[in-house]
Amino acid sequence: MTPQKYHAFVPNPLPPQLRYERPHLLKTLAHAERTIGALQAVGDLIPNPDLMIVPSIRLEAVTSSRIEGTQASLSELFYFEAADNYTDRAKVRDDVLEVHNYVQALNHGIALLDQLPLSLRLLQEVHRVLMRGVRGSTSDKTPGEFRRSQNWIGGTMPNDAIYVPPPAATMLELLAQWENFIHADTDFPPLIQTALLHYQFEAIHPFLDGNGRVGRLMIMLFLMHKQILTRPLLYISPYFERYRDRYYDCLLNVSRHGDWEAWIEFFLLAVVEQGEHASRSAKRIYDERERLRLDLQTQRASASALMLLDLVFKNPYVTARSVVDALGITMPTAQKAIDRLQAMGLLEEITRRERNRVYVAARLFEILTHDEQVYRPD
């Protein structure tokens, strides 16, 4: 059988010859920079920023994975994490495990930034966690390792693919150049540098699987590496998922036509929309939390009930065991706190069983997600 010929794309090293001083791009860039500054200020002002960080990381995980075709809801992820102490993993959908891995990978990457600069080594560690134990990951997906064979996007073979990344023999040099640009002394504003890095990573496609998720995860890590944000507050995958076709077209048109301007504008608009959304959500969450705390304090609720309130803002699903583990209290004390929040109508039991009961704060879930249905097990 005659081998099929194909053309692989080899991107030029960063940075490109690029003019971003056009009035509309400068206006969008300024808007994006103001949005990031305002978001950082919100994170500094909120007494407990984890109330916005923990749910937002999970929303990012769900939407970034959904772009790749993984169908798991935010409520399924919350439920899995709350009930994980006794969940039969054989019954958990692979999609939920993949999204859960994304959360673990991002948290791992953030923790590594205290020890390592953003680097290829760090991203390999992130990829290892992302691909741990998921479909095919122990054999053909090589977690934490750069590919040694050709991959492609779309089609059944490279010769009928939509896009063919650079050959493995060329890839390592491109990755080294990409890493150098992370630390380069450049005149590009950090947000534009982020857009360039994301495109280049996607163009190189260095892993056999998980490239899109690692590339989007890298955005937050780079902003923290540059100290544009000191906390993981900005998640733009919901925008990419909402405009998925435009997202892919912009990336592909850089490769095909050198259209950097359209990609950068799209990226900056994503920063603006998601940054403003994060600031509004933070205020809404904080206001609701303060209202409920006042109700509990008026009723002379225990300290455990007040701590539990903060816990359900991070994950609206709880079990007595998850409360014990999170708050370091006894099982009877945890159950009393749950009973108090259930009596005030904040929690409801959704498993209809005597043991290993799961509760959900449906109203809080709606505040965190807006339009998603609460997951209730069969």
Residue-wise pLDDT for 216-242, tens only, equals 999 999 999 999 999 999 999 999 999
Indicate which CATH number applies to the domain containing 334: 1.10.10.10
Domain assignment present for 10:
no
The answer to whether residues 308 and 341 touch, using CB atoms and an 8 Å cutoff, is yes
Rounded-to-integer distance, Cα 366 and Cα 372, Å: 7
Could you tell me the two tokens for 83?
């009930």
- Residue that is last in its domain, among 278, 313, 328: 278
Residues of the chain whose pLDDT is less than 50?
1-2, 88-90, 137-138
* One domain, residues 97 and 170: yes
Measured CA to CA, the distance from residue 296 to residue 290 in angstroms comes to 10
pLDDT one-digit tens code per residue, 276-288: 999 999 998 899 9
Domain count, the chain: 2
E-only strand ranges, 160-289: none
Residue 291 domain-assigned (yes or no): no
**Under 8 Å between Cβ of 109 and 204:** no
Q: Are residues 60 and 171 in the same domain?
A: yes
The answer to whether residue 4 is domain-embedded is: no
| Boundaries of domain holding 229 | 23-278
Instruction: Looking at the structure, tell me whether residues 69 and 195 fall in a common domain.
Output: yes
Paired tokens of 190: 């950090």
Please report whether residue 208 resides in a domain: yes
Q: Mark whether 89 and 168 lie in a shared domain.
A: yes
Note whether 249 and 307 are same-domain residues. no
Indicate which CATH number applies to the domain containing 171: 1.10.3290.10
Bridge partners for 161 per DSSP:
none
> Both 107 and 221 in a single domain?
yes
Mark whether 262 and 325 lie in a shared domain: no
222 and 135 housed in the same domain: yes
Residue 373 per-residue DSSP state? P
Residue 233 and residue 346 in one domain: no
Q: Output the pLDDT for position 134.
A: 75
CA-based end-to-end distance of the chain: 51
Q: Is 204 within a domain?
A: yes
**pTM (predicted TM-score):** 0.93
Does 263 map to a domain? Answer: yes
Containing 50, the helix (H) or strand (E) segment is helix 50-67
> Do 142 and 265 fall into the same domain?
yes
Residues 317 and 257 in one domain: no
Looking at 224, 245, 278, the residue that finishes a domain is 278
Give me the residue label for tokens 């075709």. Answer: 69
Whole-number Å distance between alpha carbons of 105 and 227: 20
Q: Give yes or no: residues 325 and 272 share one domain.
A: no
CA R_g for the chain: 22
- pLDDT (0 to 100) of residue 371: 64
